[in-house]
Structure 1
């Protein structure tokens, strides 16, 4: 049931996002669209409650509970930026707004951008870890919760790998190409 709910929450995220943006820009009802977008965190609350009830009802803690914690963590760490990015593109495509700026492509500006994205991954790992610890305490049986502890390692290994990738942008910053007039081309700050 938890796996099906994770899939339903993911589909629900995109359905609510599309409905919110369509309401906001196509139907020209910005408040209603914003209300629909604000309903998205409710999906994660439902997933959290169902996961806790599943554990309370005697389910053996397993990968599905770990994936649920990682999913909720990802949504907390990266969900706002994803919605904001898509909102900017919807405003551009559907309402004639300006084209949203892309991330910087070169130098330390790109390194700072990657560091901010990595901070979202750190938040995701911290939230997933907190949820997994709460699940372990909730179950209260160390012999049954080993799989949940292993998912904490997955969260922090992912954050570590992402951190190394983000750090590589600072250590080896990509240089902007130089045209014939010796001015950088394609730099977006």
Structure 2
């Protein structure tokens, strides 16, 4: 059930986002659009409350409970910049706004960008780990939350692989401009 709520929140995120942008640029109601876009964090709150209630009512933690924490961590860190980028893109497409030029980065500029993205991932992982820790403490029954402990390792390994395959790799072998 919780897994479907996570899927629903992800679908809801995109629906609310596109609805907000449609209201802003097609219908020309910027204030209404802002109100709609402010509903995006409500999805995160719904997911957080549903997860807490499920665990509080005695559910044994499952994969979905840990996934909810990770989803929330990454949404907090990456959701705002994604919304801002899509808003700028929609402004360009529908209001002749400033075109977003994807800056081609090479060398140390590209490497620095890889490190910044990885550090954002670390922040998202830290938020997810904090939520996992709070859930484990809230339930306070190790036999019911032992699956949540596994998520600390998942977060660690994903961040480690990300670190080695991108920031460290490009630190050792900087991206070269194509001719």
**TM-score, normalised relative to structure 2:** 0.93
What SS does structure 1 have at the residue aligned with 2:142? coil
Shift of 1:99: 1.6
**In 2, Cα distance between the equivalents of 1:80 and 1:119?**
16
Regions of 4+ moved over 4 Å:
none
Tell me the TM-score normalized by structure 1: 0.88
Q: Which has the larger radius of gyration?
A: 1
**Counterparts of 1:148 and 1:177 in 2: how far apart (Å)?**
45
CA displacement, residues 14-38 of structure 1 (integer Å, 9 cap, x when unaligned): 0010011111111222222222222
Partner of 2:139: 139
Aligned residues: 178
Q: Shift in Å at residue 103 of structure 1?
A: 4.2
Unaligned runs of 5+ in 2: none
Looking at structure 2, the residues matched to 121 and 101 of structure 1 have their Cα atoms a distance apart, in angstroms, of 24
Structure 1: how far apart are the matches of 2:172 and 2:103?
Answer: 18
Q: Which residue of 1 aligns with 2:127?
A: 127
Q: Find the counterpart in structure 2 of residue 173 from structure 1.
A: 174
Name the counterpart of 2:67: 67
How large is the Cα RMSD of the aligned pairs? 1.4
Listed as ranges, the gaps of 5+ residues in structure 1 are 179-189
Are residues 61 and 22 of structure 1, via their aligned partners in 2, closer, same or farther at CA, if it must alter by over 3 Å? same
- Could you tell me whether the CA contact under 8 Å between 1:21 and 1:87 is conserved in 2? yes
